[in-house]
């Protein structure tokens, strides 16, 4: 499994091309030849970029959903709305499709943030707002999400 690390500030040009920072590009090198899938995020006004292997694993899980269940069918449709395949060009640039730029409100200043095995792509102002808005609630969220996790072998809880 890919474990990406880092948050990077970049610029998008008028065509939506972004130079991927070299530290991130190095981390993505093992999966670069397979390409990526970029999509609208579910919970935030940002984009998510999945290495193809991660996307395929997710699609295998979703493929097990019963398409004759209306909620499953609606979820699949909405989850995959606007999905595009993308690649880094020879110079290490990523071309973000116009409809996805519009969804995320990306104009020029952006933040590329690692999220374990995917990359989030944000308009810089919206990223800072999302981080600041959740700062007060983060301790409660951490306790709720991670508080019940126990790894007895390592004494971590």
Please report the pLDDT score of residue 143 as a whole number.
82
Q: What would be the CATH architecture of the domain defined by 7-146?
A: 3-Layer(aba) Sandwich (3.40)
pLDDT in tens, 108-134: 999 999 999 999 999 999 999 998 876
Give pTM, 2 decimals: 0.87
Distance CA(140)–CA(59), nearest Å, equals 32
Average pLDDT over residues 71-100: 94
Average pLDDT over residues 38-47: 95
For the chain, the domains span: 7-146
In this structure, the chain runs to a length of: 157
Please report the pLDDT score of residue 133 as a whole number.
78
Query: Contact 150/157 with Cβ under 8 angstroms?
Result: yes
């Amino acid at each position: 499994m890919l474990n990406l690390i880092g948050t990077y500030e970049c610029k998008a040009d008028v065509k939506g091309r972004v130079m991927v920072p070299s530290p991130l590009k190095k981390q993505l090198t093992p999966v670069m030849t397979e390409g990526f899938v970029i999509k609208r995020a579910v919970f935030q006004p940002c984009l998510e970029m999945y290495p193809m292997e991660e996307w395929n694993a997710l699609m295998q899980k979703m493929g097990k959903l019963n398409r004759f269940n209306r909620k499953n069918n609606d979820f699949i449709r909405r989850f995959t709305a606007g999905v595009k395949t993308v690649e880094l060009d020879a110079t290490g640039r990523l071309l973000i499709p116009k409809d996805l730029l519009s969804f995320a409100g990306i104009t020029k200043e952006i933040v590329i943030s690692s999220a374990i095995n995917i990359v989030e792509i944000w308009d810089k102002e919206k990223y800072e707002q999302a981080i600041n808005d959740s700062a007060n609630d983060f301790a409660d969220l951490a306790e709720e999400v991670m508080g019940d996790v126990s790894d007895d072998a390592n004494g971590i809880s």
